[in-house]
Amino acid sequence: MATTSLQELYVEQLQDLYSAEQQIIKALPKMIDAAHSDELRNALTGHLEITKTQAGRLEQICEELGEYPKNEKCKGMEGVLQEGSELVKEVSNEEVRDAAIIAAAQRVEHYEMAGYGTARTYATLLGFDDAAESLEQTLEEEKEADETLSSLAEQINVEALEEGESSRPAGSQSGRGKSSKSEKSGGKVRRIA
């Protein structure tokens, strides 16, 4: 459709986010099955429940606008999820696979954060204050999920690093020191209160 107003753009963003959430609801159980760490499985399971609530919020916002939520396919999220599942499948070691799951899941959260930030701002500009509040709530939940994954990565990435160490041929030199393991571990190194 030809989009001529910010409100139409807003509706498209909502539909795109709805499609993204639906795809995440399908993908998370596979990530949970593939995860080895209990903490990681619990975090993903918790976020699956939250994700269902988030999809419900989008349905409600669309309904109040008289719009059908299911008119867009989020090809971006499709790509993010497909890349993640391919990555996770190719890793056989449990610890390294958990690190890959975190890498994939954080891409999902950041992609969502971009969409919700935009949709929330449009809602505010268009005077849809309740919708803006509800989108802001989801945005905060996505940020929390990302932070939880970052804090899990602090341990899991280091375990993955040590696994790589033990499977490396004896005597091989990779030129890394213990002191720099945080920087090499990939995920953001950040303490969550």
For Zn ion, the binding residues (CB under 5 A) are: 16, 74, 76
Pick between residue 76 and residue 164 the one whose CB is nearest to Zn ion.
Answer: 76
Binding site for Fe ion (CB under 5 A): 51, 54, 112, 142
Choose between 15 and 159: whose C-beta lies nearer to Fe ion: 15
Task: Catalogue the E-assigned strands of the chain.
Answer: none
Of 109, 108, 97, 106, residue with least CA distance to 156: 97
Of 43, 37, 174, the closest CA to residue 108 belongs to 43
Q: What residue number has its CB nearest to Fe ion?
A: 54
d(CA 94, CA 170): 21
55 binds, among Fe ion, Zn ion, none (CB under 5 to 8 A by kind): none
Q: Which does 76 bind (CB under 5 to 8 A by kind): Zn ion, Fe ion, none?
A: Zn ion
The minimum distance between CB 80 and Zn ion, in angstroms, equals 9
Cα of first residue to Cα of last residue in the chain, in angstroms, is 45
In angstroms, what is the minimal distance from the CB of 76 to Fe ion? 14
Gap between the Cα atoms of 60 and 69, Å rounded:
9
CA atoms within 13 A on the CB side of 106: 18
16 touches which of Fe ion, Zn ion, none (CB within 5 to 8 A by kind)?
A: Zn ion
Q: Which two tokens stand for residue 22?
A: 């639906």
Q: Which is nearer to Zn ion, 16 or 95 (CB)?
A: 16
What residue 74 binds from Fe ion, Zn ion, none (CB within 5 to 8 A, per partner kind)? Zn ion
Compute the least distance from the CB of residue 137 to Zn ion, in Å.
20
